[in-house]
Structure 1
Amino acid sequence: MTATSADLRARAEEASAALPGLILSAERLAAMVAPGTHGLRRAGTGEDFWQYRPAGTGDTARAIDWRRSARSDTQFVRDREAQSAQTVKLWVSTGKGMAYGGSQSRPTKAQRAQVLALAMAMVLLRGGEKVGLLGHPARQGRFQAGFLARSLASAPIADEDSDAPAPDDLRPNQRLIIISDFLSDCDWVEPLLTRAAGLGVSGVLVQVLDPDEESFPFQGAVAFRSLAGQQRHDSRDAAGLRDEYLMRLARRRDWLRSHAELAGWYFNHHGTDQAPAHLLGWLYQILGR
């Protein structure tokens, strides 16, 4: 057996071991959000009320809303909102930096990102939407949830601290959820959002961080190393770096938010010590707009 095949087998076994926990966590989280088909904001076949309009040529007596019409001299028709499945794509960073977890009592950034992505997919699939990973077909149905779970759990870790979605994988008029820590090189964000805006692709940037990365609690002599070994900084007074670090983190978030808004996207951030249900509900509301 070659080293390459041995590594592949080890990754497959690791993914298989993690799969039940990932699915269970995602199912519990998805159960906290009530799914529903998203409307198209125009009259058509559907269950949700859209608008009243005056009856016109071609409207039958059966179509008249007699209760509403009784309040005026005009006959009104009750239109329903057209509904159709939308396509939502997911992209979760597999950069080595996502493997960071500041405490064994917390999930790593990668683990939380995977749970969020899979739970969101489950909610959308229950609502009849088409869901897929970026670069792969989007499909409906419960079997797609299993495919997404296996794909997320077995995704190979990148050699570098960060990675980026491929702009060529974007397709017109889709929704896209991008989950990353956005701590390393973010030069890809602006051109990706520009291309997305040109294709009519809307979406959300979600930054997932460990609490240590949020508050920078380090003190004294600390040797900072990136998980990929690409960056290193030795400090004798880590606490003296805190204010500068927090200021840079705030600037990075402002930059991400402003570029997202320019493209018609949304931005939010989440800590691995926080309950994920709130963010999941927010994501679902955003995708329904």
Structure 2
Amino acid sequence: MTTDVITLSPELRARLRGLRIAPRRALARGGIGQHRGRERGSGMEFAQYRAYEPGDEPKAIDWKLYARSDRLFVREAERESPLTVWLLLDASASMGQVDESRPGFSRLDAARQLALAIAELAIGQGDRIGLLVVGNDRVDGVDAGTGPRQRDRQLLMLDGLRASGAWPGSDRLAPVWERIGADDMVVLLGDLFDPASVDLATRLAAARREVLAIQLLTVGERDFDYRGGRRFEDPETGEVLPGDGAALRAGFFERFGAAQAALAARLDAAGIRHVRHVLDQPLDAPLRALFAPPGRR
């Protein structure tokens, strides 16, 4: 099940403050000079002051202003670096999976909210953001752009999403390669269960796209806290596995743990930063892991 309207709560918006999308090349240089938008630290052109927050670099504080006002302020600057961020969202049938404890909230619901949050971060920084939705054996998308209208275009597509079908074959992925340019950043949102989705991520990384991945899991996949007789069904293939939940638990953890370890090793080898998000966790957790400044994650 997928809700009709996506919104970010005021509490979530507050927790997103201080997060910055920065490419790896900028992180390697301490975040200097690789971002068009307001960033912390020194930059090419002064933009504004803001109140000091724990974790800010002392060198960013305007000490002369502190001497006059007895309050700590940090200088923010406009940085010239055109960053284009692409959201690559898995909308195949398995993304419709929900937890028993929260039947109205699916993997796709979490992915849509995370996509909206990332889009707002990028737009707030003055960066370009695009959206590609992969599912139902095809690729749909919104071209990269900036500003509030771009957010509204993406919101319109996200609101109408339904999880269905399978990940398309490589012959139908041409729109991905046509739109995502070299040195663009790609954020993959999905369960990463389909090997084809991981194949695409690693190919993009090998072709000079910086790829980040957020894997979305249900509480049941993390805890497998099932009791009594069950029917486990693959939503994409229809394959059914009947059995007793408690009896299947040990075998599930062994196989699932091995698969997760192999996935992590493959993403690491490809240079893909990745984080796992379970549906009962705060939505800002994976974003903080990827985008918070060091020491504040």
* CA distance, structure 1, for counterparts of residue 219 and residue 235 of structure 2: 17
Q: Which has the higher strand share?
A: 2
Residue 206 of structure 1: aligned partner? 214
The count of aligned residue pairs is 238
Alignment gaps of 5+ in structure 1 = 1-13, 51-79
* CA distance, structure 2, for counterparts of residue 31 and residue 142 of structure 1: 19
Query: What is the deviation of 1:264?
Result: 1.4
Q: Give the residue type in structure 2 aligned to 1:141.
A: G
Residue 58 of structure 1: aligned partner? none
Higher Rg: 1
Q: Give the residue type in structure 2 aligned to 1:127.
A: Q
1:189 and 2:198 aligned: yes
Query: What is the deviation of 1:36?
Result: 5.0
Query: What is the deviation of 1:23?
Result: 2.5
* CA distance, structure 2, for counterparts of residue 208 and residue 139 of structure 1: 26
User: Deviation per CA, 1:135-194, whole angstroms, max 9, x where unpaired?
Assistant: 53211111211111111121353224x5689353542111111111123x314413x234
RMSD, matched Cα: 3.2
Q: Is the 8 A contact 1:38 1:83 kept in 2?
A: no
- The verdict on how the C-alpha distance between 1:30 and 1:145 changes in structure 2, with shifts beyond 3 A counting, is farther
Q: Is the 8 A contact 1:30 1:123 kept in 2?
A: no
1:29 and 2:12 aligned: yes
Residue 61 of structure 2: aligned partner? none
Residue 256 of structure 2: aligned partner? 249
* CA distance, structure 1, for counterparts of residue 150 and residue 101 of structure 2: 31
- The verdict on how the C-alpha distance between 1:216 and 1:247 changes in structure 2, with shifts beyond 3 A counting, is same
Residue 92 of structure 1: aligned partner? 89
TM-score normalised by structure 1 residue count? 0.71
Residue 232 of structure 1: aligned partner? 240
* CA distance, structure 2, for counterparts of residue 36 and residue 123 of structure 1: 7
* CA distance, structure 1, for counterparts of residue 78 and residue 33 of structure 2: 5
SS of residue paired to 1:253: helix
Residue 180 of structure 1: aligned partner? 190
Query: What is the deviation of 1:123?
Result: 1.2
Q: Is the 8 A contact 1:260 1:266 kept in 2?
A: yes
User: Deviation per CA, 1:65-123, whole angstroms, max 9, x where unpaired?
Assistant: xxxxxxxxxxxxxxx99532311100221112211212363621111111011111111
Alignment gaps of 5+ in structure 2 = 44-76, 133-140
Give the 5 Å matches for 1:102-121: 102-103=99-100, 105=102, 107-121=105-119
Percent identity between the two aligned chains: 22
1:272 and 2:279 aligned: yes
